[in-house]
Amino acid sequence: MKIFKLPAFLFAITVSAGLLSVDAVASEPSVLPSWNDSTSRQDIINFVDAVTDKSSPGFVAPAERIAVFDNDGTLWSEKPAYFQLLFAIDRVKVMAADHPEWKTTQPFKAVLENDIDALADTGEKGLLELVMATHANMTTDEFTRIVTNWLAAAKHPRFKRPYNELVYQPMLEVLAYLRANDFKTFIVSGGGIEFMRPWVEAVYGIPPEQVVGSSIKTKFEVRDGRPVLVRLPELNFIDDKEGKPVGINQHIGRRPIAAFGNSDGDLQMLQWTAAGEGKRLMVLVHHTDAEREWAYDKDSHVGRLDKALVEAGANGWTVIDMKKDWKTIYPH
Amino acid sequence: MKIFKLPAFLFAITVSAGLLSVDAVASEPSVLPSWNDSTSRQDIINFVDAVTDKSSPGFVAPAERIAVFDNDGTLWSEKPAYFQLLFAIDRVKVMAADHPEWKTTQPFKAVLENDIDALADTGEKGLLELVMATHANMTTDEFTRIVTNWLAAAKHPRFKRPYNELVYQPMLEVLAYLRANDFKTFIVSGGGIEFMRPWVEAVYGIPPEQVVGSSIKTKFEVRDGRPVLVRLPELNFIDDKEGKPVGINQHIGRRPIAAFGNSDGDLQMLQWTAAGEGKRLMVLVHHTDAEREWAYDKDSHVGRLDKALVEAGANGWTVIDMKKDWKTIYPH
């Protein structure tokens, strides 16, 4: 096991000199420092110890150390609604000047009138129209700029901070800890792949090629002698529920040995991870902290956690109790 | 510039001691040893020098050093037909015992009678049927085993060797040389993504998560309490021509700075690579060696090279003359 932030050679010297037992290391605060000394923290450390110890029967070669993370509700918050939906709503308001017809057409009318009930009434069809109107009919480069500019300016309604500051400090530490132990960390999110890529490298240390997500189709075109990729108003792939193992296979082509989620949308990803040979780590973030973040599970429309929590209990998967297990929530 | 196989610290010492000038390094046979001292070899070395030299205006940060390689005809041979088609033909012959109807149904009848003209007459529709009959209706794990077993047993008709020994030694050296200089190397092939993944890591050093290719759809199912991904007889994505930049964007999410191809199917990938900012390397492998491999370009049905060769000439892209530039073709 390598210790996050403790140079490997120093650790090796320390251990070989018998100055530090492995048990002592596990409760060493330099590993996952924003975590209380909880079962969930210990599960993560025990797993990493087992798969990185060459003398352990659970040893896994570095190339096979694939860890996947849901994004919404697992790496950053998802309330009062998925941040990408809030982005789409903001975009409709900006774009409305060029679309006078939106004043009288749903789902745009509901958005412009801040009528959340009416928006909800438009259902999946309305949501899809909202996404296509705000996410398609521009080049991939233009969309990247739009997302980047929105993130730089928009503020979360409750915390009054940029959305990409509402990421979980304890999970940033898990990402770094796994990478320090030669894991490759991937995002596998129901969110849009191109909505995440512009910012996740700076925030999570996850490069664009390690992001799996939902997508619309794109088309190669040469415009004024310059090749571009145009985003089309047509669904390509929904990376949620049964789609997550499909997306993992399509993009990664190996089965992960560790998976982190927070909702029923992550259940199949956890099942797929659990079904592989050898040591596995399946983790659910349970939102239990109404004061510092939000408390919700089976009755929530956003990030519903019901079946996956039952299955976690039945299979001994790790469940993070956000309120009890995390010393801090956000980096700020 | 790091030298392939020369440890970095040794190189640093050698250079800092003034024992080796950079020009001397470029013609040093330890770099790309199977290449003659050609313009194409020099183009590759000059490019790597420029993007890895921090004092050069062309310097590119390691994370952005993405290089993409076509597979058929660029990393391994593609004659007398794409090896994946030869796989499908072999599979039809194995599976025919369970499909008596194939004796009288095209395209299977043509395959079973070794009637290449009749097979060609079935056109794209026939080819698609052949692919679906041999590539779908099994789990992803089963397909991996089928490909692995085929590669272990099948022999190329001309060279009497396993297909994955018909890879180009000079290109293996380019892959290793780029990786030694902190590039991430990706395959971007019209071939099937799941047909390549079982063997490309051992042969090219390219892990499954860095393979982009054509695909059929898969579906998550729980069979006998065990989750599986079932391969469906339905096209998902064709990673060829205009599809290559789309596949690159979908999987990698960054624009490559170097691209290697050999046919018109690679043209859009090279255009997409060329259109980025800063130093770029676009390379075509021109098959000019009828004796050691094959000689073909604009009149070939497999790996036709016509428009891309014209565009290479017009834009100063690098064209490898296989006969003149490569000392050896295959590793054996």
Residue type, A327: K
ipTM of the complex: 0.91
User: Span B8-28, mean pLDDT?
Assistant: 43
Residue A207 and residue A246 in contact, taking contact as beta carbons nearer than 8 Å = no
Nearest by CB: B246 against A207, A229, A268: A229
Q: Which of A120-124, A283-287, B39-43 has the lowest mean pLDDT?
A: A120-124
| Subunit contact B249:A201, Cβ cutoff 8 A | no
Identify the pLDDT of residue A18: 38
Identify the pLDDT of residue A116: 84
What distance in Å separates the CA atoms of residue A211 and residue A230, rounded to the nearest whole number?
A: 20
Q: Among residues 271-300 of chain A, which lie with CB inside 8 Å of chain B? A: 271-272, 275
pLDDT exceeds cutoff 60 at A15: no
Taking alpha carbons only, the member of B57, B69, B298 closest to residue B173 is B69
Q: Between B301 and A78, whose confidence is greater?
A: A78
**Strand segments (E) across chain B:** 66-69, 184-192, 211-223, 226-237, 258-261, 281-288, 295-296, 318-321
Residue tagged 């290697």 (tokens): B260
* Percentage of chain B modeled with pLDDT above 90: 89
Identify the pLDDT of residue A132: 96
| Subunit contact A253:B219, Cβ cutoff 8 A | no
Label residue B30 by pLDDT band (50, 70, 90): confident
Using DSSP's 3-state secondary structure scheme, residue B232 falls into strand
Distance from CA of B273 to the nearest CA of A (A): 9
A194: chain B residues, CB-CB within 8 Å: 253
Q: Long-range contacts made by residues A285-288, C-beta under 8 angstroms, separation at least 24?
A: A285/A73, A285/A74, A285/A168, A285/A171, A285/A260, A285/A261, A285/A320, A285/A322, A286/A262, A286/A319, A286/A320, A286/A321, A286/A322, A287/A73, A287/A262, A287/A322, A288/A321, A288/A322, A288/A323, A288/A324
Nearest by CB: A209 against B229, B245, B252: B252
Nearest by CB: B220 against A201, A215, A268: A268
| Subunit contact B184:A268, Cβ cutoff 8 A | no
pLDDT exceeds cutoff 80 at A12: no
Identify the pLDDT of residue B3: 45
What distance in Å separates the CA atoms of residue A61 and residue A51, rounded to the nearest whole number?
A: 8
Identify the pLDDT of residue B81: 93
CB burial string B238-262: b at 16+ within 10 A, e below: ebbbbbbbbbbbbbbbbbbbbbbbb
Q: Which of A20-29, A149-158, A278-287, B24-33 has the lowest mean pLDDT?
A: A20-29
| Subunit contact B209:A253, Cβ cutoff 8 A | yes
Nearest by CB: B253 against A208, A226, A243: A208
CB atoms under 10 Å from CB of B165, counted, come to 15
Task: Determine the distance from the C-alpha atom of residue B291 to the mean position of all C-alpha atoms in its chain, rounded to a whole number.
Answer: 22
B148 touches chain A (CB under 8 A): no
Distance from CA of B3 to the nearest CA of A (A): 24
| Subunit contact B220:A246, Cβ cutoff 8 A | yes
Beta bridge partners of A228: A221
pLDDT exceeds cutoff 80 at B41: yes
| Subunit contact A226:B63, Cβ cutoff 8 A | no
What distance in Å separates the CA atoms of residue B323 and residue B332, rounded to the nearest whole number?
A: 17
CB atoms under 10 Å from CB of A155, counted, come to 11
User: Span A204-222, mean pLDDT?
Assistant: 98
pLDDT exceeds cutoff 80 at B11: no
Identify the pLDDT of residue A29: 63
| Subunit contact B227:A268, Cβ cutoff 8 A | yes
How far, in Å, are A187, A250, A251, A262, A324 from residue A61 at the CA level?
A: 21, 22, 20, 27, 33
| Subunit contact B246:A140, Cβ cutoff 8 A | no
Kindly report the average pLDDT of chain A as a whole number. 92
User: Span B195-218, mean pLDDT?
Assistant: 98
B208: chain A residues, CB-CB within 8 Å: 252-254
A140 touches chain B (CB under 8 A): yes
pLDDT exceeds cutoff 80 at A302: yes
Distance from CA of A285 to the nearest CA of B (A): 23
Identify the pLDDT of residue A22: 44
Nearest by CB: B209 against A193, A236, A251: A251
pLDDT exceeds cutoff 90 at B146: yes
Distance from CA of B103 to the nearest CA of A (A): 35
Identify the pLDDT of residue B116: 84
Task: Determine the distance from the C-alpha atom of residue B43 to the mean position of all C-alpha atoms in its chain, rounded to a whole number.
Answer: 20
DSSP classification of residue B97: G
Q: Which of A27-41, B50-64, B236-250 has the lowest mean pLDDT?
A: A27-41
What distance in Å separates the CA atoms of residue A48 and residue A66, rounded to the nearest whole number?
A: 12
Kindly report the average pLDDT of chain B as a whole number. 92
How far, in Å, are A60, A133, A186 from residue A50 at the CA level?
A: 8, 48, 21
Q: Among residues 238-267 of chain A, which lie with CB inside 8 Å of chain B? A: 242-243, 245-246, 249-254
Interface test with A, best of B220, B236, B255 (most A CBs within 10 A): B220
pLDDT exceeds cutoff 50 at A67: yes
Q: Which residue of B has its CA nearest to A274?
A: B227
Identify the pLDDT of residue B20: 42
Per-residue pLDDT tens digits for A217-250:
999 999 999 999 999 999 999 999 999 999 999 9
Label residue B27 by pLDDT band (50, 70, 90): low
pLDDT exceeds cutoff 70 at A329: yes
Residue B280 and residue B257 in contact, taking contact as beta carbons nearer than 8 Å = yes
B187: chain A residues, CB-CB within 8 Å: none
What distance in Å separates the CA atoms of residue B170 and residue B182, rounded to the nearest whole number?
A: 19
Taking alpha carbons only, the member of A264, A220, A218 closest to residue A243 is A264
pLDDT exceeds cutoff 60 at A9: no
Nearest by CB: A197 against B243, B253, B275: B253
User: Span B277-302, mean pLDDT?
Assistant: 97
User: Span A200-209, mean pLDDT?
Assistant: 98
Residue A237 and residue A243 in contact, taking contact as beta carbons nearer than 8 Å = yes
What distance in Å separates the CA atoms of residue A148 and residue A199, rounded to the nearest whole number?
A: 7
A63: chain B residues, CB-CB within 8 Å: 201, 207
Identify the pLDDT of residue A28: 59
Beta bridge partners of B227: B222
pLDDT exceeds cutoff 50 at B239: yes
Identify the pLDDT of residue B28: 60
What distance in Å separates the CA atoms of residue B299 and residue B94, rounded to the nearest whole number?
A: 33
**DSSP H or E segment with residue A235:** strand A226-237
Identify the pLDDT of residue A30: 84
CB atoms under 10 Å from CB of B280, counted, come to 21
How far, in Å, are A252, A292, B258 from residue B66 at the CA level?
A: 17, 41, 7
pLDDT exceeds cutoff 90 at B226: yes
Backbone angles phi, psi at B137, to 5 degrees: 65, 35
Q: Among residues 199-238 of chain A, which lie with CB inside 8 Å of chain B? A: 201, 207-211, 215, 218-220, 222, 226-227, 229, 236
A226: chain B residues, CB-CB within 8 Å: 275
Per-residue pLDDT tens digits for A85-108:
999 999 999 999 999 999 999 999
Residue A202 and residue B224 in contact, taking contact as beta carbons nearer than 8 Å = no
What distance in Å separates the CA atoms of residue A325 and residue B6, rounded to the nearest whole number?
A: 48
| Subunit contact B272:A193, Cβ cutoff 8 A | no
For chains A and B, what is the number of CB pairs under 8 angstroms? 86
Nearest by CB: B220 against A209, A242, A254: A242
Distance from CA of A206 to the nearest CA of B (A): 11
pLDDT exceeds cutoff 90 at A151: yes
Q: Long-range contacts made by residues A316-320, C-beta under 8 angstroms, separation at least 24?
A: A317/A270, A317/A274, A317/A282, A317/A283, A317/A284, A318/A39, A318/A40, A318/A43, A318/A44, A318/A281, A318/A282, A318/A283, A318/A284, A319/A40, A319/A283, A319/A284, A319/A286, A320/A38, A320/A40, A320/A283, A320/A284, A320/A285, A320/A286
